[in-house]
């Protein structure tokens, strides 16, 4: 049977080979950056141990963060789920009569559906990360957590800018397109009444927020408008600035191969004369925390490395997953997200382990996916098949009969059996040559 991801991939990614090459280039850069950093593997060990400690002490670290952020002048809010995040942000904006908002990249707000919620209430929200702006103008979700428009070619982006951003006709040069977008965005920043950001790390010991971008858009969005709302998952905590330094050295190296993200800002309290609100969001995270087999996935720092190496993601593209966060980490987080169809996604993995091999926090991603598979309740057809197999395996004569039947039907498999449910699987695979007899028969013959 074909997986839903397989069918969606065909629809959304016309040139999978090109996408594969584009994405894999970042895996290559990650490898080169790791090789150039002598401490890279030690940093990964340190990061894995630190995140495990953070998850063990999350309750006290969150309280410490709330105290210290409050002492620095921020207002801390707690959201149990996506709906609460949306309500809190809408209320903060509504009480101040805000109608125009700039937002820097935040996978959490994607996860919680913040943009459409605000737009439906007449609040204009403009994504300011270039990739995010491209997908926003195209009316589609991001397809990658750090490269939101990686599925789009320069020609498509040029046409989009021409249509939606008064861009120059026929422009395909990435540098000139970027300059055009920057000029277009400047007045948007200047006219914004509030800035919404995600958070890369929240530092418990100081109540600070670390926000990393390559474009400086979060810095403009948090320093021009007087109101800053930062939305973060509760798992983004680190203990102190020493821990933060380790993660900052890993984040960009793992994602894009840079030594450090171009703009790495620490925000402690509001800007002079401004307001800072921090929304700490659970949305299924404590449920993951309570699952021993899955809590490690909360250590994710959203670097994107597991997407860049995953053979399924690279060929299918992010939109095929139907999740805010696609790829191996998206699948590992999805079963508690409530997204329709998410429970079947752990099956859409080759379990090759490439994701685990590159993760800077050493999350055992393929083991996580395997554990979700094991926990999934099989559908009625699979249950029936498993019961039949169990019966055959428990009765040797029935097992031998089933074997004979399977060997008789062997030639019919593949494309010669109209309506064969395994046919799509066999399009790209060949069945092995039939041995002509069962193992038991072959063994008996050779023992004579």
Nearer to ligand SF4, 276 or 361 (CB): 361
Select the span of 267-275, 278-286, 359-367, 440-448 touching ligand SF4 (CB under 6 A): 359-367
Interface stretch with ligand SF4, choices 15-23, 29-37, 175-183, 297-305 (CB under 6 A): 297-305
From candidates 279, 303, 316, 369, binder to ligand SF4 by CB under 6 A: 303
- The span from the CA of 368 to the CA of 376, in Å, is 12
Distance in angstroms (rounded) separating the CA atoms of residues 73 and 238: 20
Closer to ligand SF4 by Cβ: residue 98 or 108: 108
Work out how close the CB of 255 gets to ligand SF4 at its nearest, in angstroms, rounded to a whole number: 7
236 CB-side CA count, 13 A: 27
Q: Dig out the tokens for 95 from the structure.
A: 């009480």
Q: Are 236 and 111 in contact (CB under 8 A)?
A: no
Look at residues 329, 141, 328 and name the one whose alpha carbon lies nearest to residue 233: 329
Q: Select from 185-193, 357-365, 369-377, 436-444 the region that touches ligand SF4 (CB under 6 A).
A: 357-365
C-alpha count within 13 angstroms, C-beta hemisphere, residue 246: 20
CA distance 339 to 39: 39
Supply the minimum distance, in Å, between the C-beta of residue 251 and ligand SF4: 8
Smallest distance, Å, CB 222 to ligand SF4?
A: 24
Question: Could you tell me the smallest distance in angstroms from the CB atom of residue 85 to ligand SF4?
Answer: 21
Q: Could you give the CA distance from residue 272 to residue 45 in angstroms, rounded to a whole number?
A: 39
Q: How far is the CB of 312 from ligand SF4 (least distance, A)?
A: 14
- Distance in angstroms (rounded) separating the CA atoms of residues 406 and 235: 50
Classify 244 as helix, strand or coil: helix
**Separation in Å, CA 384 to CA 194, 347, 397:** 56, 19, 20
Which listed residue (304, 317, 335, 346) binds ligand SF4 by CB under 6 A? 304
Would you state the structure tokens that stand for residue 397, as one six-digit string?
């004569």
Q: Please list every residue from 362 through 401 that binds ligand SF4, using CB under 6 A.
A: 363, 365
Instruction: Name the segment binding ligand SF4 (CB under 6 A); options: 196-204, 294-302, 336-344, 398-406.
Output: 294-302
Query: Should residue 329 be labelled a site residue for ligand SF4 when binding is judged by CB under 6 A?
Result: yes
Number of residues near ligand SF4 (by CB under 6 A): 15
DSSP calls for 200-222: SEEETTTTEEEEEESSSHHHHHH
302 touches ligand SF4 (CB under 6 A): yes
Q: Is 345 in the site for ligand SF4 (CB under 6 A)?
A: no
Q: Decide if residue 301 touches ligand SF4 (CB under 6 A).
A: yes
Closest separation in Å from C-beta 65 to ligand SF4: 21
Report the residue number, 126 or 146, with the smaller CB distance to ligand SF4.
146
Of 101 and 306, nearer to ligand SF4 (C-beta) is 306
Which residue in 101, 306, 323, 331 binds ligand SF4 (CB under 6 A)? 306
Closest among 54, 30, 36 to 359, alpha carbons compared: 30
In the complex, the smallest distance separating the C-beta of residue 428 from ligand SF4, rounded to whole angstroms, is 27
CA distances from 310 to 315, 327, 398, 414 (A): 9, 7, 41, 28
- Candidates 104-112, 222-230, 301-309, 333-341 — which segment interacts with ligand SF4 by CB under 6 A? 301-309
Residue 259 burial (CB count, 10 A): 11
Residues whose CB is less than 8 angstroms from the CB of residue 394 and which lie 6 or more positions away in sequence, other chains included? none
Contact 157, 66 (CB under 8 A): no
CB of 61 to ligand SF4, least distance (A): 19
Task: Examine residue 312 and tell whether it contacts ligand SF4 (CB under 6 A).
Answer: no
For ligand SF4, the closer of residues 30 and 180 by Cβ is 30
CB of residue 200 to ligand SF4, shortest distance in Å: 11
Choice between 346 and 360, CB closer to ligand SF4: 360
Residue 192 sits in the site that holds ligand SF4 (CB under 6 A): no
DSSP state of 68: H
User: Is 105 or 302 the residue whose CB approaches ligand SF4 more closely?
Assistant: 302
Quick count: other Cβ atoms within 10 Å of Cβ 445? 9
Per CB under 6 A, contacts with ligand SF4 among 226-265 are 254
Considering only 300, 324, 342, 348, the residue that binds ligand SF4 (CB under 6 A) is 300
CA distance 344 to 378: 10
The answer to whether 230 and 209 are in contact (CB under 8 A) is: yes
Distances (CA, A) of 355 to 16, 254, 365: 19, 12, 6
Q: Which of 244, 333, 359, 369 binds ligand SF4 (CB under 6 A)?
A: 359
Q: Point out which residues bind ligand SF4 (CB under 6 A).
A: 254, 300-306, 329, 358-361, 363, 365
């Amino acid at each position: 049977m074909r997986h839903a991801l397989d069918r969606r991939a065909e629809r959304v990614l016309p040139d999978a080979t090109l996408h594969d090459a584009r994405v894999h280039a970042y895996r290559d850069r990650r490898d080169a950056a790791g090789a150039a950093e002598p401490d890279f593997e030690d940093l990964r060990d340190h990061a894995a141990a630190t995140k495990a400690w953070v998850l063990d002490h999350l309750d006290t670290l969150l309280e410490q963060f709330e105290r210290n952020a409050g002492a620095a002048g921020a207002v801390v809010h707690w959201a149990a789920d996506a709906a609460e995040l949306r309500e809190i942000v809408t209320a903060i904006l509504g009480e101040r009569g805000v109608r125009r908002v700039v937002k820097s990249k935040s996978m959490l707000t994607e996860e919680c559906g913040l943009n459409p919620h605000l737009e439906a209430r007449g609040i204009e929200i403009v994504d300011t990360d270039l990739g995010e702006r491209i997908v926003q103008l195209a009316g589609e979700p991001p397809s990658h957590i750090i490269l939101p428009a990686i599925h789009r070619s320069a020609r498509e982006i040029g046409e989009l800018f021409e249509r939606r951003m008064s861009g120059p006709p026929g422009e395909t040069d990435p540098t000139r397109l970027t300059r055009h977008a920057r000029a277009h965005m400047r007045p948007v920043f200047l006219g914004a009444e509030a800035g919404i950001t995600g958070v890369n790390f929240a530092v418990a010991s100081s109540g600070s927020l670390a926000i990393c971008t390559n474009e400086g858009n979060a810095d403009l969005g948090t320093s021009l408008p007087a109101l800053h709302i930062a939305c973060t998952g509760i798992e983004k905590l680190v203990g102190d600035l020493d821990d933060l330094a380790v993660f900052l050295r890993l984040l960009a190296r793992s994602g894009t191969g840079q030594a450090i993200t171009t703009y790495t800002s620490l925000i402690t309290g509001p800007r002079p004369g401004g307001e800072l609100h921090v929304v700490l969001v659970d949305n299924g995270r404590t449920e993951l925390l309570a699952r021993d087999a899955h809590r490690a996935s909360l250590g994710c720092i959203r670097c994107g490395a597991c997407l860049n190496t995953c053979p399924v993601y690279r060929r299918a593209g992010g939109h095929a997953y139907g999740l805010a966060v696609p790829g191996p980490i998206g699948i590992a987080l999805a079963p508690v997200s409530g997204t329709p169809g998410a429970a079947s996604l752990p099956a859409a993995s080759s379990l090759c382990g490439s994701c685990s091999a590159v993760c800077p926090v050493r999350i055992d991603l393929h083991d996580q996916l395997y554990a979700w598979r094991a926990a999934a309740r099989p559908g009625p057809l699979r249950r029936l098949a498993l019961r039949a197999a169990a019966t055959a395996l428990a009765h040797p004569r029935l097992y031998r009969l089933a074997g004979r039947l399977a060997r008789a039907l062997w030639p019919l498999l593949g494309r010669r059996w109209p309506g064969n449910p395994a046919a799509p699987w066999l399009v790209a695979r060949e069945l092995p040559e039939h041995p002509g007899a069962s193992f038991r028969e072959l063994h008996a013959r050779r023992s004579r």
